[in-house]
Amino acid sequence: MTNEAIQKAADLIYEAHRSGTPCAPVRDLIGLSVEAGYAVQELNTRRWVEGGRRLVGRKIGLTSLAVQQQLGVDQPDFGVLFADMEFADGAEIPLSMTQQAKAEGEIAFVMSRDLTHEDVTVSELIRAVDYIVPAIEIVGSRIANWDIRISDTIADNASAGLYVLGGPVRSLRNVDLADARMILKCQGQARSYGAGVACLGNPLNAALWLARTCARNGSPLRAGDVVLTGALGPMVTLAAGDHFEAEISGVGTVRASITAG
């Protein structure tokens, strides 16, 4: 894999993000290499940070075993979250801020301490979670028609888009995340069902994988970081005029509306 190919793939995705016009799959340049995908993601992350965007956390993708099998991988992936991606409960989000958008219901962790050890334990992770809230992630793709394989989605910041955080704020105490049931409604009609067990068996498992991976890569999770732990059910395509509500048992509710702006 050449540096020129990685740079060209990063430029294609960066321009697709800037212009709102999707690009061709970058696997045509970098193959199906996971490492090359992250190299592309890192180039654009640095470019965005240098341009003034602020890192506030990470998102985990590919937490469904079925989706992993579809893309031919045996592990999740991750992307970065910027401050301009976050919205509050009940937000009205212009469709123009999204790209080929789909909605997912999931659980967000907010961290209270750094996790710098590559062998971080689940008990250390639990102690490091300040609180949890329900979230709607609005995923998007800079790749035309969602024609993605593993290297495409990793290069495209794990298909990150926007996210909405709901409430109430809860600690992990007395919450069974694996058994948390999710219903994602659109216009009051249930469109997606799921549960915590669909997220690598438990959202804690997904967060543990992320904490270890980020520490190993030299960019550990930090106090204050938001972690989107992964979808609890299938994605739902959204359009202008849609009103979404995700209810997660034992966790809470989060709402968002999509406007035509």
Span 230-259, pLDDT tens digits: 999 999 999 999 999 999 999 999 999 999
Across the range 96-115, mean pLDDT stands at: 97
Residue located via tokens 């105490």: 173
Residue 38 tokens read as: 């992250």
In the prediction, which pLDDT does 109 show? 98
Q: Using CA atoms, how far apart are residues 150 and 174, in angstroms rounded to an integer?
A: 36
Cβ contact 95:259 at 8 Å: yes
Decide if 162 contacts 259 (C-beta within 8 A): no
pTM recorded for the entire structure:
0.96
**In the CATH hierarchy, which fold is given to the domain comprising 55-259?**
Fumarylacetoacetate hydrolase; domain 2 (3.90.850)
* pLDDT digits 0-9 by tens, 26-70: 999 999 999 999 999 999 999 999 999 999 999 999 998 767 776
Q: Give the pLDDT confidence score for residue 70 in this predicted structure.
A: 66
Q: Residues for the chain: how many in total?
A: 261
Question: Does 75 score more than 90 pLDDT?
Answer: no
Distances (CA, A) of 130 to 25, 165, 233: 38, 15, 25
